[in-house]
Structure 1
């Protein structure tokens, strides 16, 4: 049995980068795997969250899964804090993982910056909880991007060490599921910066809740450049765009890359189609495509966010199914560790 675990943090204002980088892939995976898709609210509180907003953000992520096309009857959608196995196994893994392993985690260094003495201990042991998320369900595969590869390696190390320490064959060693080259979705106002919810300009990003008219308006106002669209000669031998070429025209290649991602095409195909054309013509094509792909999803997300009881019911039902999967695994863990359970 091939089982996937993956999740998204409920930090609010999901945008096109979140959709193309993760949520769209969830929809594609559900035909070939047994899928557990989590809203990882326990990870979210490693940095301060407004409690009332966290509730809304949790519903937003769940609504994004549903609006994008994840089937909650065939697969599991739930929020992490409703299943106690995550916290319980996370603590056990705190005792299995080594400080030296955590000290090598580059994401902690990036997020903590110069203030690492003042950040929460939760942020430091975050990778151990991520390992618990995956292994509580004996997931065999985990879709990963560049920023999570190191954490999955730690999960694999923890699984092996637990099995070795307690002389059991309990946890599988999960395999990374590489979803192909990730689309680098940059700001619609400044192609040198990543699309971000924290950008003060609403026109810098397309959110997953934008309706068709808003999507169209943001694409039309997106920064491009006055030059014509180049041909495939700008690409490297492997078909990728060299960084030095991207940096010369960041806004142009950002829009071209977004088109390629939404159309499920390689960048070379998009360049072949639009070579020699100006951005006024191209942006109309991109607008039409974005409205077709994203408009209905934004409308469905808004509908779901207005039906809180339905979304909460999906999460509660999913949590029950997730807990039922984790329970026998946790019994094995308690027996292996030597916890006395009545």
Structure 2
């Protein structure tokens, strides 16, 4: 329980409640059950979810040791390349980019049009300095844009700064907007194609649910046998 109460996400989100709901407190445990029920071995996460996966490792190890079994593999984290796991908000760069943020201009949606992407990048919050320098602590806004450019282009943040040496922040925004719009265009196209084929999506969901149910039932039976219920 103390471990759950120390999660940064719990502290941040519980601040909005006079009495935090139980669901908010137990959410990390629910995440663990989602992993263990299907015997997940590798879990793709962002940097901010590492504490949650460490909890999954702890609970998995404790269960296996308690009941002298190896039913559950210890899950391993799959982290994105440097910086890609913690892209910041375009409107409040001190916070991570989130789909739950009320302001739609704070994030890039995979279904955003090219014009929307370019517009959001141009309106992103930076600072009063015009030079392009990477300093996440002192210049979170422009550093976030540099980081995004680095992820998309494959250049290091140092190389991005060198590429924009002598240019102003506006030029970075213009070029990043166009680069990002082009990068996401085929992804958006594929999403729209799938979204328009209702029969295909329903088939995938039905088949996936059947496979998941089979695995879950087998796992549940094994757990009952191990704990003697």
- Aligned 1:92-111 pairs, distance under 5 A: 99-111=1-13
**Greater length-normalized contact order (CA 8 Å, ≥ 6 residues apart):** 1
How much has 1:247 moved relative to structure 2?
4.2
Task: Give the structure 1 partner of residue 217 of structure 2.
Answer: 327
Name the count of aligned residue pairs: 227
Corresponding position of 1:133: 34
Q: Which has the higher strand share?
A: 1
Structure 2 residue aligned with 1:218, among 111, 120, 125? 120
Is 1:112–2:10 an aligned residue pair?
Answer: no
Q: Which residue of 1 aligns with 2:226?
A: 336
Alignment of 1:205 with 2:107, yes or no, is yes
Write the distance in 2 (CA, Å) between the matches of 1:246 and 1:210. 26
Contact preservation (8 Å) 2:130, 2:168: yes
Q: Which residue of 2 aligns with 1:271?
A: 161
- Whether the 8 Å contact between 2:83 and 2:147 is mirrored in structure 1 is no
The DSSP-based 3-state class of the residue aligned with 2:122 is helix
Distance 1:102 1:132 in 2: 15
| Residue 308, structure 1, aligned to residue 194, structure 2 | no
| Residue in structure 2 matching 1:229, options 89, 110, 132 | 132
Q: Deviations over 1:80-111 (max 9, x none)?
A: xxxxxxxxxxxxxxxxxxx4443444432332
Q: 1:172 to 1:229 in 2, by over 3 A?
A: same
Q: What TM-score do you get using the length of structure 1 for normalisation?
A: 0.58
Matching residue of 1:123: 24
- Deviation per residue, 1:287-324 (Å, 9 max, x gap): 22112111232233234334334323222211212223
Does the aligned pair in 2 maintain the 1:211–1:299 contact within 8 Å?
Answer: no
Long gaps (5+) in structure 1: 1-98, 231-240
Structure-2 separation of matches of 1:175 and 1:169: 15
Q: Establish whether residue 153 from structure 1 lines up as the match of residue 54 from structure 2.
A: yes
Change (3 A) 1:106 1:116: farther
After TM superposition, list the pairs within 5 Å mapping 1:157-306 onto structure 2. Answer: 157-183=58-84, 184-197=86-99, 201-224=103-126, 225=128, 227-230=130-133, 245-306=135-196
SS in 2 for 1:248: coil
C-alpha root-mean-square deviation of aligned residues, in Å?
2.7
Q: Distance in 2 between matches of 1:192 and 1:246?
A: 9
TM-score (norm 2): 0.82
- CA distance in structure 2 between the partners assigned to 1:108 and 1:226 by the alignment: 35
Maintained 8 Å contact 1:140/1:172 = yes
CA distance in 2 between counterparts of 1:129 and 1:191 reads 29
2: CA distance, partners of 1:165 / 1:180: 36
Q: Verify the 8 A CA contact 1:145 1:182 in the aligned structure 2.
A: no
Q: CA deviation at 1:223?
A: 4.3
Report the CA distance shift for 1:254/1:168 in structure 2 as closer, same or farther (over 3 A).
closer
Q: CA deviation at 1:333?
A: 0.8
Q: Deviations over 1:211-253 (max 9, x none)?
A: 12222233334344551324xxxxxxxxxx5xxx334333322
Q: CA deviation at 1:267?
A: 0.7
Q: Answer yes or no: is the 8 Å Cα contact 1:188–1:203 preserved in 2.
A: yes
Alpha-carbon distance in structure 2 between the residues aligned to 1:104 and 1:261: 31
